[in-house]
Structure 1
Amino acid sequence: MPWIQIKINTTGAHAEELGDALIEQGAVSVTFQDTHDTPVFEPLPGETRLWGDTDVIGLFDAETEMREVVAGLQYHPLLGEGFRHKIEQIEDKDWEREWMENFHPMRFGKRLWICPSWRDVPDPNAVNVMLDPGLAFGTGTHPTTALCLAWLDGLDLEGKTVIDFGCGSGILAIAALKLGAAQAIGIDIDPQAIQASRDNAQRNGVDDRLSLYLPHQQPANLSADVVVANILAGPLRELAPLIRVLPKNGGHLGLSGILASQAESVCEAYAEAFILDPVEEKEEWCRITGLRGA
């Protein structure tokens, strides 16, 4: 069953109270993790935690409308409007760091391989992306990432510009560059994702062609031949006015992070501006693609 989690950083004294608040909002479980003892959630080098030493993590069914959960939490006296949080899909066993042992080279489409940076590549003549996701989402093990990688492999990216909206580990932007794109732009709300993307771009020798931005830093009037956004259904609907204008006329759009049951509502948010393809499904998740009309 697919899941989504929300993470809130706080102090040990407030953790239980916030855990109760997450349960009230519908979390099926709540986990407390000491940020000093858990490598998965260590801050970036030089980064200072704004709050405290405990991460409160609420696990929700992936059908949950997380925008409503966040809206409800904003009324909590320990949080307030605009409180810091992180929402992400759950990759298999990622929370136990078992992916480091189970993460093997994987093929997507006809040409593309995603290879852990600590393993040998199976085919030196293939298009190989060497990846260490670090603290960010995106290894290729999650169906949504796999759907996006296979789609990119099937496009003619030679000389094109690609925007990866919600870049995570940088896996999609870097794959696009290795597949022939001239330039890529990665955008993410999480500084850890920007760091992971930068590190992986350097590892793959494409950092000179990848520009990375937090949302408030991105240039105005961005556009690209190909735009891919592997986030979640709620943000894809909410941010549709921003995402719809990123592809050039005739440009490609790929959306994922969407449950099959959510596909229709996401399609409706983009149908006016795009000629949409049939929805592609994989293990309860799906991908929506299309061309922007003139």
Structure 2
Amino acid sequence: MAWLQLKAHIAPEQAERLEELLLAEGASAITLMDAHDDPVFEPDRGSTPLWRETVLTGLYDDLSAVEAMIERVQRAWAAELPEEPAPTIEYELLADRDWEREWMDGFEPLRMGERLWIVPSWHAAPEPDAVNLVLDPGLAFGTGTHPTTALCLNWLDAQALEQTQVLDYGCGSGILAIAALKLGADTAVGVDIDPQALQASRDNAERNALDETRLILDYPERLGQGEYAVVVANILAGPLIELAAQIAGRVAPGGQLALSGILEAQAESVLDAYRDQGLIMDEPREKEGWMLLTGRRPA
């Protein structure tokens, strides 16, 4: 079916009130976007930043009487905020599209390094004899298309992982932990605060026919004791700094660490946090403005 989309360019301080008015008119979804494409990669903790000019859209499945709806919204605005001009609201009809199918069609197999392929579950493997990781991310982060994930996967592909134990801190779809196992690691542990991520990781482990004893999945607070030959964490710079003692403390003597989810301007702060934990850090690697930081604990 077709959808009705209402759209308004507004100041950030107007967003909450207009959202309430559009929801009161039965909006199925509300979206806030930047009018000038100024990205907010990592907001301050506890904040919900908006841009200098915000585009607010409401989506409706009722296509009738749109002019009357807009008039009601503007009257309600004028009654509550008489000193502020009501936003100009535009509308258009959106043709029905199979968004899931379009996304699936755009996600092609990806080669990572020399040995590893990331293969969507609905595609055939381009090289059946390669190391093929079959993936369906579900609602969790991690497909291999983002530079941070690609940096980690290329790094894992270059490591000698045979008979190692790997920790994936913030496992998302499980892509890094499963890749490590497919590349020869003995066991892997994946932790995440999101239950949907843990479920997506379990599902992807099953798709790759991994014995459930080789991939342990749980919440970070239930990780228990233990050190690992390889520790990877692809999250964000703020949490990486806050969790530096916990993450670095999991790297065994002689073990290796890989961190991503870090913008170029944030790299030095993250490096300092892990050097303070006794790790020897390497020169950063960059891909499309995102950084991979690697290091090791002295034997």
Q: Is the 8 A contact 2:42 2:236 kept in 1?
A: no
> Partner residue of 2:264?
260
> Partner residue of 2:114?
110
What's the secondary structure of 1:211's corresponding residue?
A: strand
Choose which of 250, 256, 269 in structure 1 pairs with 2:254.
250
> Partner residue of 1:281?
286
Q: Is the 8 A contact 1:198 1:207 kept in 2?
A: no
1:189-200 alignment, distance < 5 Å: 189-200=193-204
Q: Which deviates further from its counterpart, 239-248 or 207-216?
A: 207-216
Q: Deviations over 1:252-293 (max 9, x none)?
A: 000000011110111110013111111000001110001112
Q: Is the 8 A contact 1:168 1:197 kept in 2?
A: yes
1: CA distance, partners of 2:142 / 2:32: 19
> Partner residue of 2:273?
269
- Relative to the length of structure 2, the TM-score reads 0.69
How many residue pairs end up in the alignment? Answer: 225
The alpha-carbon deviation at position 215 of structure 1 amounts to 2.1
> Partner residue of 1:162?
166
Q: Deviations over 1:202-226 (max 9, x none)?
A: 11011421000012332x2132100
The one-letter code sitting in structure 2 at the alignment partner of 1:281 is E
Q: Does 1:69 align with 2:74?
A: no
Q: Does 1:217 align with 2:222?
A: yes
C-alpha change, 1:259 and 1:189, in structure 2 (3 Å) is: same
What's the secondary structure of 1:201's corresponding residue?
A: helix
The one-letter code sitting in structure 2 at the alignment partner of 1:116 is P
C-alpha change, 1:232 and 1:57, in structure 2 (3 Å) is: farther
Identity across the alignment (%) = 56
What's the secondary structure of 2:47's corresponding residue?
A: helix
2: CA distance, partners of 1:192 / 1:180: 26
Q: Which deviates further from its counterpart, 145-154 or 268-277?
A: 268-277
1: CA distance, partners of 2:243 / 2:32: 25
> Partner residue of 1:290?
295
Q: Does 1:153 align with 2:157?
A: yes
The alpha-carbon deviation at position 239 of structure 1 amounts to 0.8
The alpha-carbon deviation at position 61 of structure 1 amounts to 3.0
The alpha-carbon deviation at position 55 of structure 1 amounts to 8.3
The alpha-carbon deviation at position 66 of structure 1 amounts to 3.3
> Partner residue of 1:80?
none
Which structure: larger Rg?
A: 2
1: CA distance, partners of 2:294 / 2:234: 12
> Partner residue of 1:188?
192
1:44-193 alignment, distance < 5 Å: 61-69=39-47, 97=100, 98-193=102-197
C-alpha change, 1:158 and 1:55, in structure 2 (3 Å) is: farther
Structure 1: runs of 5 or more not aligned = 1-19, 35-52, 72-95
Q: Does 1:204 align with 2:208?
A: yes
1:13-24 alignment, distance < 5 Å: 23=12
2: CA distance, partners of 1:202 / 1:250: 32
The alpha-carbon deviation at position 101 of structure 1 amounts to 1.2
- Relative to the length of structure 1, the TM-score reads 0.70
The alpha-carbon deviation at position 144 of structure 1 amounts to 0.2
2: CA distance, partners of 1:65 / 1:267: 20
